[in-house]
Amino acid sequence: MIIITNKPKKLSGELLVPGDKSITHRALIFGALAKGTTEIKGFLDSEDCRSTISCLRALGVIISEKPGRLVVEGRNKIMEEPAKVLDAGNSGTTARLMLGILAGQHFSATITGDQSLQKRPMKRVVEPLSQMGVNFGEKVEHLPLTVRGGALKSIDYNSPRASAQVKSAVLIAALFAEGKTIFNEPHLSRNHTELMLSAFGAEIKRSKNQVLFEGGQSLKGRQIHVPGDISTAAFFMVAAAIVPGAEVFLKNVGINQTRTGIIDVLKEMGADLKIDNERLWGSEPVADITVRGGAKLQGIKIGGKIIPRLIDEIPVIAVAAAVAEGKTVINDAGELRVKESDRISAVVTQFTSMGMAITETEDGLIIEGGSSLTGAEVESRGDHRIAMALAVAGLAAEGETTIHNAEVINISFPGFIPALRSLVTEKQ
């Protein structure tokens, strides 16, 4: 599949972005671990979340699809030994959180993923889980991994990186452990797991970058309404910010503080962005966001503790930086190199061919603003967020942009192209 984008005459309208990917994974997983039934409304129906569903089903979890909702029959933490190798597909969140579940089971199971996921680092999860008593055998760096779980002990773990996937795997394993698990991280990563654990009736203490969690607790099934995904909304926010005269209204977007780095950055760059109707959906805050194009954007510096709050949005932030005035410098984002692709290298090679003045550093990007972008033939590198960022860049480029291998968008947002089209009025 390819996508072709052009500079639109107009970009305007209202969108309901699909459900949050991180929250959908967790709702399925905690629903499966809980006692009783969990109903999930507004879930993200995408390939990554389907990977979580199929791994859970292989562990004996009954998940039924009703109109507009998923119903998960919880197994009160005890899973069934799978008859086959679990397959996390392209989804890092599925693989790493599933390791937390397997850690607590009294059987041995193997989990793998697609070619891209088999290259991504797993030792970051293997390390703390091994300290808790899980046996991984010899092979610990990459998928496929074989996990022999069982009687776990609690740990006091200082994570070298701010990773919500590592934190979540440890907290899930801690549900099976004796004693109090403490997890420290250098900066606060997304906290959906902590919020959801307490929504499912567990007691969890959070302070700054530390979580304390007493092992052995059980969870109670509940209803969950998943907010719109801010990481998906980000593509439309930037699209509206860079197209003069644009006006885009995004409804029911999750604005959890650990995810709103994109809003802070766009505001600091000078974008015209308004947040209205703030309210809570369960424990997650939600709002409506309006972005208007035409405001002059300025280059800024991005680094330090904001990085985990916007890590998935950096490819599309690069697009805003390219049309801004002045230089944007992004540091401390070395994690981008181990996402669905090496996103630093993907952004530099693909955007350079569209005329962006962008250079790579070991842990980030330097973007000289004020480039005039030109349409080009580009490639997603098998990465959904690169494909969508390229489509947004295409809206600011003179001439046609053709994005190859764009079907990867289905990983997080199967409806992206129709949604973008619904906002665009083509030039005659």
Give the nearest distance from C-beta 324 to ligand S3P in angstroms. 24
The binder of ligand S3P chosen from 12, 22, 38, 258 (CB under 6 A): 22
| Angle of CA points 334, 337, 338, to nearest 5° | 110
We find the least distance from the C-beta atom of residue 335 to ligand S3P, in angstroms, to be 6
* Contact flags string 83-122 toward ligand S3P, x per CB under 6 A: ----------x-----------------------------
Report the residue number, 167 or 222, with the smaller CB distance to ligand S3P.
167
3-state secondary structure of 423: helix
Question: If DSSP codes are grouped into helix, strand and coil, which group holds residue 6?
Answer: coil
Q: Which residues pair with 63 in a beta bridge?
A: 72
Residue where the block lists tokens 């005035």: 325
- Cα dist from 32 to 25, 45, 56, 336, whole Å: 11, 17, 7, 30
Residues facing residue 207 across a β-bridge: 210
Of 173 and 423, the one with the shorter C-beta distance to ligand S3P is: 173
Minimum CB separation of residue 254 from ligand S3P in Å reads 12
Q: And the tokens for 271?
A: 């974008």
By CB under 6 A, residue 311 contacts ligand S3P: yes
Closest to ligand S3P by CB, 87 or 383? 383
The single residue of 229, 312, 332, 363 carrying the catalytic annotation is 312
Q: Is 312 among the catalytic positions? A: yes
Which tokens go with 156? 């006091």
Residue 52 touches ligand S3P, criterion: CB under 6 A: no
Contact residues for 259 (Cβ-Cβ < 8 A; gap 6+): 190, 230, 231, 309
CA-to-CA dists, residue 160 to 17, 172, 266, 330, 395, angstroms:
33, 19, 29, 20, 39
Residue 312 touches ligand S3P, criterion: CB under 6 A: yes
Q: How far is CA 228 from the centre of its chain?
A: 12
Least distance (Å) from ligand S3P to the CB of residue 22?
3
Place of tokens 């607790």: 217
From 131-139, 161-169, 249-257, 366-374, span contacting ligand S3P (CB under 6 A):
161-169
Point out which residues pair with 374 in neighbouring strands: 398
Alpha-carbon gap, residue 187 to 198, rounded angstroms: 21
75 or 190: whose CB is closer to ligand S3P? Answer: 190
What's the length of the chain?
428
Tokens of 72: 């998960």
x/- track of binding to ligand S3P for residues 349-378 (CB under 6 A): ------------------------------
Least distance from C-beta 267 to ligand S3P, angstroms? 22
Least distance between ligand S3P and beta carbon 164 (Å): 4
Q: 20 vs 379, which CB is nearer to ligand S3P?
A: 20
Q: Which of 200, 293, 308, 323 is nearest to 262 (CA)?
A: 308
Smaller CB separation from ligand S3P, 10 or 142: 142
Q: Give residues 163-182 in contact with ligand S3P (rule: CB under 6 A).
A: 163-165, 168
Q: Active-site residue numbers?
A: 312
Give the interface with ligand S3P as residue ranges (CB under 6 A).
22, 93, 163-165, 168, 189-190, 311-312, 335
